[in-house]
Structure 1
Amino acid sequence: MNRGWNRCPIFSDTGDRFLLLKTFGESVERFKIKIHAFSLMPNHYHLLIETPLGNLSRAMQYIDGVYTQRFNRKYNRDGSLFRGRFKSILIQKDSYFLEVTRYIHMNGTKAKLISGPEKDPYASHQFYLHPQKAPAWLETSTVFSYFDPDPKEARDQFHRFVIKEPPHDIDNTLSNPRWPAILGNKKFKKWIRTEFVENNKKPLDTPQDRPLRQKLSPNEVINQIVKIYHTDKALIQGRYSSYKNEARQATMIFLRTYSLLSYTEIGALLGGVTYGAISPVCRKGETDKSPLFFKVKAQLDKLIKYQL
């Protein structure tokens, strides 16, 4: 999922929506991902993606980057279209796959943009009901495998499932702005922690295991720094704040490691700081830092552990 910068619209007309759908199709071909469901909302979009090659980050960078280039070229604009890095949640397929599909397909209905998912022209539900109209890149067979072998009956069963009220706990989890890193049962979560987090045996994604690491929003990081350093946001985010200010240096480092922002995104949040100023601070990392720095780090680690 990704949202427009400052919650601004990411589409200006219907053609823009088809432009993003075209980019989805290209990403399937280029990165061999599987797109099971999508929903295009006025200022954000949702995707249910499977990555057999473990390349989620590359695929999403392509989608957001290429669509932004095309949008900017069409409207003669420049700059970011999206707020930054996408949000993702790792899903246990057998237990939660259908629930996430339902959540995505019901987005427009819940937002009261349309009266039902079957009437949403910018979500994949219509293509499940009318597969002859579906784009070649939309993977529908996995969803239908959970229903009747007869195609027509499977479509009817799936539609009834989608419009049925979801379990309260699942709906609350997916509707919460702060998603957990993992959506699954205790056994699945333990396996993920053991295999991919604690033992660091192999990545879940390339080049980094970002789906599990991109947990904290920039505001969450900055708020902890302000609280623990007893400072003011203006002293951290002001364009002319001192580079020797450890709270400001900590902000650069932790936005990079806990929010996974690029140097450009960090610079924009800190009043226009350049790549050349941020890069050496992040490379130096924990060297010569005070106990307050490590207190912030410990608190951020606690917030991440709470989400897992």
Structure 2
Amino acid sequence: MYKKREWSPGFTYHITARGNRKYNIFRNKGDRLMYLNYLEDAKQKYPFILHSYCLMTNHIHLLLQTENDPPGKIIHQIHYRYARYFNKKNGFQGHLFEGPYRSTLIKNNKQLIDTSCYIHLNPVRAGIGNEPESYQWSSYRSFITNRNNIHVNQDRILACVNNSKTHYKFYTETKLHQFDNRAEHY
């Protein structure tokens, strides 16, 4: 039995979900674009603020702030639709995701920015690239350049570093070595 998740409007969470048996949940660009499409649809139905994200091959990271609905409703909306799409497209049946999503309640701004950095550094720690900005399927590029990302609102995180994209880049890159030995790659 799963412990009931703590929730109130405005709470922020680091959400993770992995493919069943660690299998890939994204096979190509189209899959990731469809996931982001379902994310935007869920945002219309159950408004929330997405602060950061990273779509890896077999798991996802979302840093989201709820408004009027708990994260379970939001994630169920996205993952139910995405699993149906993925299974139909690939001729599969059954669960795509490994159990329920995991969530960590974000309690302060330090934890918020550290979690955003962790999310953005995930591809580098996984050996996919040497620099976080080289990974296309995260929100990192929009945090350090003038490139727009319609999926995220960077205001709260950038406020933690004097609204400076340069400061965010520096802060994130100094975290790379700190996280190497501390966290399991979900």
TM bucket normalised to smaller: 0.7 to 0.9
1:153-164 matches, within 5 Å, as 154-164=164-174
Q: In 2, are the aligned partners of 1:31 and 1:59 still within 8 Å (CA)?
A: yes
Displacement of 1:99 after TM fit? 0.3
Relative to 1, partners in 2 of residues 1:146 and 1:177: Cα closer, same or farther, differing over 3 Å?
closer
Q: CA RMSD in A?
A: 2.2
Q: How many residues align?
A: 171
Q: Report how far residue 30 of structure 1 moved.
A: 1.4
Whose radius of gyration is greater, 1 or 2?
Answer: 1
Q: Secondary structure at the match of 2:103?
A: coil
Q: Contact 1:109 / 1:116 at 8 angstroms: preserved in 2?
A: yes
CA offset digits 1:134-188 (Å, max 9, x no partner): 11x3111111112235xxxx1111111111136958972xx1479xxxxxxxxxx
Residue aligning to 1:239: none
Instruction: Please report the TM-score for the alignment, with normalisation by the length of structure 1.
Output: 0.52
Q: Which residue of 2 aligns with 1:145?
A: 159
- Match for residue 70 of structure 1 among 65, 85, 99: 85
> Do the aligned residues in 2 keep the contact of 1:99 with 1:166 (CA within 8 Å)?
no
Q: Is the 8 A contact 1:128 1:134 kept in 2?
A: no
* Distance 1:54-1:105 versus aligned 2 partners, 3 A rule: same
Who is 1:91 aligned against?
Answer: 106
Aligned equivalent of 1:109, options 103, 107, 124: 124
- Alignment of 1:6 with 2:21, yes or no, is yes
1:165 aligns with 2:165: no
Question: Within 2, Cα distance between the matches of 1:170 and 1:50?
Answer: 26
Q: Deviations over 1:40-79 (max 9, x none)?
A: 1111011111112241110011111111011122223221
Q: Aligned residue for 2:9?
A: none
Offset from partner CA, 1:89-147 (integer Å, 9 cap, x none): 11113231000000000000001101111111011101222344311x31111111122
What are the superposed Cα offsets for residues 235-282 of structure 1, whole Å, 9 maximum, x if unpaired?
Answer: xxxxxxxxxxxxxxxxxxxxxxxxxxxxxxxxxxxxxxxxxxxxxxxx
- Any gaps of 5 or more consecutive residues in structure 1? 179-308
- Contact 1:37 1:47 survives alignment (8 Å): yes
Structure 2 segments unaligned to the other structure (5+ residues): 1-15
TM (norm. structure 2) is 0.84
Structure with larger RCO (C-alpha < 8 A, sep 6+): 2
Is contact 2:118-2:179 (8 Å) kept? Answer: no
Match for 1:66: what amino acid? R
C-alpha contact 1:99 1:170 (8 A) present in aligned 2: no
The residue type paired with residue 14 of structure 1 is K
Q: Secondary structure at the match of 1:88?
A: strand
Is it true that 1:128 corresponds to 2:143 in the alignment? yes
